[in-house]
Amino acid sequence: DVKVTQSSRYLVKRTGEKVFLECVQDMDHENMFWYRQDPGLGLRLIYFSYDVKMKEKGDIPEGYSVSREKKERFSLILESASTNQTSMYLCASSSGQFPLLLSPSGANVLTFGAGSRLTVL
């Protein structure tokens, strides 16, 4: 089974701290994603990467950066955490060439990690 592992299930940080959320996938997937999930707002895409060292902004990139130095690892960085970044963060990966959803195969299916719940005080 494809596994996407997020390093921390729960984190508590203070305002202004630098926060790293790590995600590792073990199926050699080309594409990796970071979402945040908030009640009433659903899943919103922060950043994604379709290749090593490549990244593209999603719908809400402000206040975040990402790093993909190796194919299996995609990190989300909060340079200076703020209380409005308290959320559930979800990492996902998929195979297949970008853009997605143009393939009849299941290659574009997203596999998610269990999530990292971040609280910023």
Partner 1 sequence: DAKTTQPNSMESNEEEPVHLPCNHSTISGTDYIHWYRQLPSQGPEYVIHGLTSNVNNRMASLAIAEDRKSSTLILHRATLRDAAVYYCTRAGNNRKLIWGLGTSLAVNP
Give the DSSP H/E element, type plus range, for residue 52.
none
Residue 90 interacts with partner 1 (CB under 8 A): yes or no:
yes
CA distance 27 to 41: 30
1 is a contact residue toward partner 1 (CB under 8 A)? no
Of the candidate spans 11-19, 67-75, 77-85, 94-102, the one that interacts with partner 1 by CB under 8 A turns out to be 94-102
Q: Does 102 bind partner 1 (CB under 8 A)?
A: yes
Binds partner 1 (CB under 8 A): choice among 7, 30, 43, 63: 43
Nearest Cα residue to 91 out of 7, 31, 26, 35: 35
Instruction: Give the one residue of 99, 118, 120, 121 binding partner 1; rule: CB under 8 A.
Output: 99
Task: Let me know if 10 is exposed, middle or buried by CB neighbors in 10 A (0-12, 13-18, 19+).
Answer: exposed
Choose one: 11-19, 44-52, 67-75, 77-85; the region binding partner 1 (CB under 8 A): 44-52
Contact between 77 and partner 1 by CB under 8 A: the answer reads: no
Residues 5-34 that bind partner 1 (CB under 8 A): none
d(CA 95, CA 114): 19
Dihedral-angle region of residue 83 (phi above 0 means left; psi in -120 to 50 means alpha; beta otherwise): alpha
> If binding is defined by CB under 8 A, does position 58 make contact with partner 1?
yes
Helix (H, G, I), strand (E, B) or coil at 63: coil
Which residues are at the interface with partner 1 (CB under 8 A)?
A: 4, 40-45, 48, 58, 90, 92, 98-102, 104, 106, 108-115
